[in-house]
Amino acid sequence: MKKRLIVVGAGLGGLSLALRAVSAGWQVTVLERSHQAGGKMNILAQDGYRFDTGPSLITLPHVFRQMFEECGVGTGSLRFRRLQPLTQYRFPDGERITYPDKLPAIASMLERLEPDGGRGYWRLMATAAKLFELSQRTFFQSSPFELPTSRQLQALVRSLRWFPLRNAWGNYSRTVERHIHSSYIRQIFNRYPTFVGSSPYRSPATLLVIPYLEFAHGGWYVDGGLYRIIETILGALRERGVMIATNADVVSIIERNRRVRGVCLASGDVVEADVVAFNGDATRAHTLLGMPPPPRLPERSMSGVVFLIGLRRQLPADVFHHTIAFSTDYRREFVELFDRMEFPSEPTVYLNVTSKTDSTTAPPSGETLFVMANAPAVEGRQWEHAIPMLWERMMRVLERSGIHIVESDIAVRSVWTPEHFERTYGMPGGSIYGFASHSYRTAFLRHPLRDRNVRGLYYVGGSTHPGGGTPMVVLSSKLVFDLIKRHEMDS
């Protein structure tokens, strides 16, 4: 008899786990409460414009390729495209830096901006490279809550020779300031912790692995839009006979004698299983188990405000696929976001124009824009009334940077506030990456992948180990399935 797995949630993590399990011979059912699979990695198609509503940048594409290869999924039509150059940064004083990603160009940028020719920059990158190597051998291989296998233990012991990595301990922004002199490059570095919804002024220096990742492995787009990744997984799941039910809200996880038995849907239907994996926010699982909430939770990572804009006219050719328009006072922005829990009075704005790379995402002579600013994650806060203010503040910064969006050119406009994210995906306060990585504990000790009280219950996705962001979520599906194989095959 095939073992039965229910995956609650069709986010990238849930779908990746379903793919691994069905490819290993399990009978798999996916239950998703929203009307469309993909979770935060989703799509909006309207009047000839196609928008990715969540992720817009892929790092570590090999993590995706590896999964497809391990599961025997052909990826002929899935094309990862490295964007070169990746991002243009626009500063409030008019300076523009098109951040280079080739060694000679980086060296000449450093010659121009750093008095010591960039020695501090290379020192930071060298530390980050070692940290990344170390993570690959340890952190990406197993959850710290599980006993390591002998292979993992050996890898850990071998890696200890790198300690102490002097520059890896301490505060992120202060470490950057110690090594980098140019205010422009400091500011660019200080943006990376926001990739995991965190403040550079509160994060540990270990997050330097993020700029290193971009430097060493590049930033990628998928032709046709990033949702093509979800479509490829969905196609493979359907081919293999996985039942994927949307509009299927799981209201409780059924356990008896501390062993999971199945789930109950809002419709009252009960679906039985040997193993259940929850892909929603793991810190919310107690509500499905009828248990009291955990005592005190760490700070949530940031949410965002996103405007999806379909333009009838194209933006000038000097606007890149990824542009960052910085605010005048980055530090104040994070005080507003994390201390006052307010939307920044002057937000840094991220503009993603997929149609600059991929004309299939917009009608002829149109443009597809994803405009985003960070926002605080506050549970239950109502945002709808604030939309005109959010738009006005974000447009002011874009305009100062030289990018003008003319109202009469707008053919499609869709707004996503933290309230919208919270409601649609069940993310507390609309927080995008689970907890903020503001301490070593929250950066490295995420929610365990395996429930300690209920046998057969697992957690997968960005709120668990190793963390948020698409490649980490795919890695979490691998780690969870390794655990399921280890603990559930004989029971």
Ligand X SMILES: Cc1cc2nc3c(=O)[nH]c(=O)nc-3n(C[C@H](O)[C@H](O)[C@H](O)COP(=O)(O)OP(=O)(O)OC[C@H]3O[C@@H](n4cnc5c(N)ncnc54)[C@H](O)[C@@H]3O)c2cc1C
Phi, psi angle pair for 56, to nearest 5°: -130, -5
- Of 187-226, binders to ligand X (CB under 6 A) are none
Output 31 or 207, the one with its CB closest to ligand X. 31
Please report, for residues 53, 235, 331, 336, 374, the alpha-carbon distance to residue 371 in angstroms, rounded to integers and kept in the order given.
10, 30, 21, 20, 11
With contacts defined by CB under 6 A, name the span among 34-42, 313-321, 357-365, 443-451 that binds ligand X. Answer: 34-42
Output 67 or 180, the one with its CB closest to ligand X. 67
User: Does position 60 bind ligand X by CB under 6 A?
Assistant: no
Please report, for residues 31, 86, 187, 209, 350, the alpha-carbon distance to residue 183 in angstroms, rounded to integers and kept in the order given.
48, 20, 6, 20, 19
User: Does position 120 bind ligand X by CB under 6 A?
Assistant: no
Please report, for residues 118, 297, 322, 353, 446, the alpha-carbon distance to residue 318 in angstroms, rounded to integers and kept in the order given.
27, 44, 11, 12, 41
Q: What is the DSSP letter of 431?
A: -
Q: Which of 430, 431, 434 is closest to 444 using CA atoms?
A: 434
- Of 261-280, binders to ligand X (CB under 6 A) are 279-280
User: Does position 353 bind ligand X by CB under 6 A?
Assistant: no
Output 12 or 180, the one with its CB closest to ligand X. 12
Encoded one letter per residue, x for contact with ligand X by CB under 6 A and - for no contact, window 292-321 reads: ------------x-x---------------
Helix, strand, coil in percent for the chain, rounding step 5: 40, 20, 40
From candidates 250, 351, 353, 373, binder to ligand X by CB under 6 A: 250
Residue 126 CA to residue 132 CA, distance in Å, equals 10
User: Does position 429 bind ligand X by CB under 6 A?
Assistant: no
User: Do 158 and 137 touch, CB atoms closer than 8 A?
Assistant: yes
CB of 62 to ligand X, least distance (A): 14
Pairing of strands 303-311, 367-375: antiparallel
The site that binds ligand X (CB under 6 A) totals a number of residues, namely: 34
User: Does position 468 bind ligand X by CB under 6 A?
Assistant: yes
Output 64 or 91, the one with its CB closest to ligand X. 64
User: Does position 361 bind ligand X by CB under 6 A?
Assistant: no
Residue 413 CA to residue 174 CA, distance in Å, equals 39
With contacts defined by CB under 6 A, name the span among 100-108, 120-128, 309-317, 418-426 that binds ligand X. Answer: 418-426
**Contact residues: ligand X, CB under 6 A:** 8-14, 31-34, 39-41, 54-57, 249-250, 279-280, 304, 306, 421, 425-426, 432, 461-462, 468-470, 473
